[in-house]
Amino acid sequence: LPIDVLIVTIVIDSLLERHNLQQKLEKLNMVIGAFYSGIGTELLRTFAAADCTLAFMEPDLLVDSTWDKAAFKVHKKRAREFEYKVESGMVDLVALREVLVRHEDFLLRILENPVMLEHESFSNVLRAVFHLTEELKSRENLQETPPSDRSHLGGDITRAYSLMTLSWLDYMQYLQSDYPYLFSLAIRINPFSLTHDACVRE
């Protein structure tokens, strides 16, 4: 009897641990979803428009309903290995700074959420975005930035862009698996597509 009780206890503990993990993941993905809805998709669209190498990467970012786990694995591997290159001269730095500053409190609330402790990779996304924000805020006149500084800011933008892209692919896979109706909208407003359109068309 004691052995039976021990086995039952272990099984129950395992089930509770799995349930708690699922709850944490659910809350985490809700926070990540809020990020992309609030500012992430807009930033990705801005950065992608200035990525001179996007044409080579685009097929791996045009997520659609036919992708399965194997397809996501292949495309995410390519995305991790890809060398992103944002031309800072093609980015309106003043407008970008305004967007980031306007959403700074929102980003801080996300960062302060306890579930962020459970997701190092997304914490790195936020860290890169905050760093870019600080870099842009620290310059009085972004319209007269010398080429050397433009290049530096291009590196900061590219860092945030690449991390966000990988995180976005993970989030898209999660939506496809758990929330098809959210996934449907997400693929229609794909920030990497030149023809993004929220309208459902035949």
pLDDT at 140: 87
pLDDT at 144: 86
* Residue range 119-151, pLDDT digits in tens: 778 889 999 999 999 999 999 899 888 999 999
* Residue range 21-42, pLDDT digits in tens: 566 778 888 889 999 999 999 9
Cβ atoms 118, 184 nearer than 8 A: no
Residue 15: CB atoms within 10 Å? 10
Least confidently predicted of 50-54, 115-119, 137-141: 115-119
Partners of residue 86 on adjacent β-strands: 51
pTM: 0.85
Residue 145 φ/ψ region, left for φ over 0, alpha for ψ in the -120 to 50 degree band, beta for the rest: beta
Q: What is the mean pLDDT of residues 80-84?
A: 91
